[in-house]
Amino acid sequence: MTVSVELWQLITLLLAFFGFVAGGAKLLVAEFERRLDQKFSSMETSIQNLTDRDQQADSQLRDLERDLRRLQIDMPVNYVRREDYVRGQSVIEAKLDALYNKLENVMLKGVSRDY
């Protein structure tokens, strides 16, 4: 069994084969480009989300700093330090002790006059 192929048939087969290979390569390149476009668009979306989160974090940080400054301003007005409270209590106790001593002296003088 012999197969005879003429030159024009061989050229046509080779052109068809190379056309098929070229078409497959073109589809493969188009698929690669589509995938790359998807990846780049998802990366752009991720970058945009990160930028939005960064702006939200900056806003929250500014709010926190503002609240902290407000607390630092209000702190001396609304709160008493422990040392100040102890000093105030010491003054009150000293005055009460002095008053007690005066009352005791008055009571002793009053008792000594009765005899």
- Give residue-wise pLDDT tens across range 42-98: 999 999 999 999 999 999 999 999 999 999 888 877 777 888 889 999 999 999 999
**Could you give the angle at the alpha carbon of 110 between the alpha carbons of 104 and 115, nearest 5°?**
130
Same domain, 54 and 94: no
Rounded distance, CA 96 to CA 67, Å? 42
Same domain, 43 and 10: yes
- In the numeric block, the tokens 């209590």 are attached to 89
For 19, other C-beta atoms within 10 Å of its C-beta total: 10
- Please indicate, yes or no, whether the overall pTM of this predicted structure exceeds 0.85: no
pLDDT, tens only, 11-49: 999 999 999 999 999 999 999 999 999 999 999 999 999
Same domain, 33 and 9: yes
Same domain, 59 and 109: no
Same domain, 18 and 71: yes
The whole domain housing 14 covers 1-79
Same domain, 27 and 54: yes
Same domain, 91 and 75: no
